[in-house]
Amino acid sequence: MSRGAKRSTSEAELKEESQDKRVNAARERIKLLQRSKGRETETETEKKDETKSGLDIEIHPLLRNIGPTPVIPKNHNPLKQNVRKWFDPSAINPYLDQSNSSSGLTSKQQHKPRSLLFNPKGKYIAQGEHLRQKLKEEAAEKQEQEKIKAQGLLPDENLGEQFYKPEFPPSVEWWDRPYLRDPNYDHIGDESRKILDSEVQPVTSYVQHPVLVQPLWEAREEIKPMHLTKAERKRMRKNARMERHREKQDRIRLGLDPPPPPKVKLSNLMNVLTNEAIRDPTAVENRVRKEVEERLQKHLQENQARKLTKQQRHDKIFQQQDKDLSKGLYSAVFKVDSLANKQNSFKVDINAKQHNLVGICLKNPKFNLIVVEGGHKAIERYQKLLLNRIDWTKNASEDNTDLSNNKCSMIWEGRIKELSFQKWSIMYSRDDEEAFTVLNKFGIENYWRLASTT
């Protein structure tokens, strides 16, 4: 391409640019004129609306600001408009370098060489050691948490125990602070660091002890065994006996215990000792009789060894009676028309003593009053004796008194708070006044009134 052609093209381009500038300037003037005319028309319409309102109805506010629509030229290009002043490209993309576009310099002109930065020796080794130490601490902490969880010491999150603030024990307890010269127990073994001879803080006159707290593991209630019927207890004893016999057989099979001798009786003599019984039957029979007698004596000796002595039997009965009394105190009141039969009177007296009951048998010509106090089981046994077992109509006395209408009735029974008597006794009275006097000593005179009305 020749130089003349290049000059002609550059001149044509300059002419086009100047022409475009003129066109743009003309367009701007047209826009300004249109805007000024639009404002004038708006003011005129507002004045007309104020002066001539038609039927005295104001124009809707949305219809007042309607003006002429701007005319957009055909060669309008929105991409070539001026850049907005508030627009900041770096705010949209902070990772984009905007210095090149603003200054007009290329990236090669703005590039500055940087020095090489090498990692120091042992940098990644130290990072690895730090990571391994961190993992080791996490594993130890996890193991400690599992150990605490196995012991049941983790806080209950349902109750919010993880937010509880633990209270650490003080360095010195409040009851030891007046007697120590130091604020801690470091020199507790040194007698010179203690204050024991002060008249203001006496030790022997006022001794304070902290309240003992019962441990939680000792406050558990004992689980009562399930009640079994007679047949179930019998079955359990049978199973236990079979288990002991089976264990004994196993020990014999293993050679730990010698096998027992054969149990020969006169009924199985010929089956067990066949050859010996045929050769000398008399000697075999005598030997078998001797073995049977030995087994019987051994059985009787074992029973005698298991048998309780007289004192042990009495102690066992007293223990059962004390156990019955510990469950609660009960009382019963009986009315007997006549105690002329001495046998019945003896039974009333001796059974009350045997059952460890306390109370009184008040004899009176009108009727007899029996008041007993003790445990529930003892009262029940004594009640069965008086109401069921004794025949009150039987007469064994010499005077042949008519006891055909004699009877015994219980007028009251129930639980009492404390015992009114210290022992069992038999007393006599001649009339109601003496009976009231006797019973008034024990605070049970109302029983006589109740018996008189029944």
- Record the tokens describing residue 373, joined without a space: 């106090």
- pTM of this prediction? 0.44
| Residue 60 belongs to a domain | no
Higher pLDDT, 12 or 236: 236
Note whether 353 and 242 are same-domain residues. no
Return the pLDDT at 204.
57
Q: What ranges in 215-309 are assigned the alpha helix state H?
A: 230-253, 269-272, 274-279, 281-306
Return the pLDDT at 230.
96
Residue 23 clears pLDDT 60, i.e. is over it = yes
Note whether 187 and 236 are same-domain residues. no
| Residue 56 belongs to a domain | no
| Residue 25 belongs to a domain | no
Note whether 172 and 251 are same-domain residues. no
**How many separate domains does the chain show?**
3
Residue 413 clears pLDDT 70, i.e. is over it = yes
| Residue 130 belongs to a domain | no
Give phi and psi for 409, each to the nearest 5.
-135, 145
- Find the angle CA(282)-CA(283)-CA(288) to the nearest 5 degrees: 100
Higher pLDDT, 71 or 435: 435
Return the pLDDT at 107.
53
Note whether 233 and 195 are same-domain residues. no
Higher pLDDT, 76 or 448: 448
Q: What is the pLDDT of residues 242-266, one digit of tens each?
A: 999 999 999 999 999 999 887 888 8
| Residue 102 belongs to a domain | no
Note whether 371 and 436 are same-domain residues. yes
| Residue 313 belongs to a domain | no
For residue 404, what is the domain's CATH number?
3.30.70.100
Return the pLDDT at 296.
94
Note whether 362 and 401 are same-domain residues. yes
| Residue 129 belongs to a domain | no
Return the pLDDT at 73.
74
Residue 94 near residue 103, CB atoms below 8 Å: no
Beta-carbon contacts of 348 under 8 Å, excluding residues fewer than 6 positions away, are 336, 339, 361, 370, 386, 390
Note whether 177 and 251 are same-domain residues. no
Note whether 334 and 448 are same-domain residues. yes
Instruction: Identify which of 111-125, 161-175, 423-437 has the greatest average pLDDT.
Output: 423-437
Note whether 401 and 368 are same-domain residues. yes
Q: What is the pLDDT of residues 51-108, one digit of tens each?
A: 444 556 676 766 666 666 667 777 776 666 555 556 665 566 666 665 555 444 555 5
Note whether 337 and 444 are same-domain residues. yes
Domain membership of residue 350 as a residue range: 329-453
| Residue 382 belongs to a domain | yes
Beta-carbon contacts of 371 under 8 Å, excluding residues fewer than 6 positions away, are 331, 332, 333, 334, 359, 360, 362, 421, 444, 447
Identify the CA nearest to 83 among candidates 68, 62, 69, 98: 98
Note whether 196 and 235 are same-domain residues. no
The whole-number average pLDDT for the span 3-21 is: 64
Average pLDDT, the chain: 82
The whole-number average pLDDT for the span 200-210 is: 64
- Record the tokens describing residue 69, joined without a space: 């629509």
The whole-number average pLDDT for the span 258-276 is: 80
Note whether 165 and 251 are same-domain residues. no
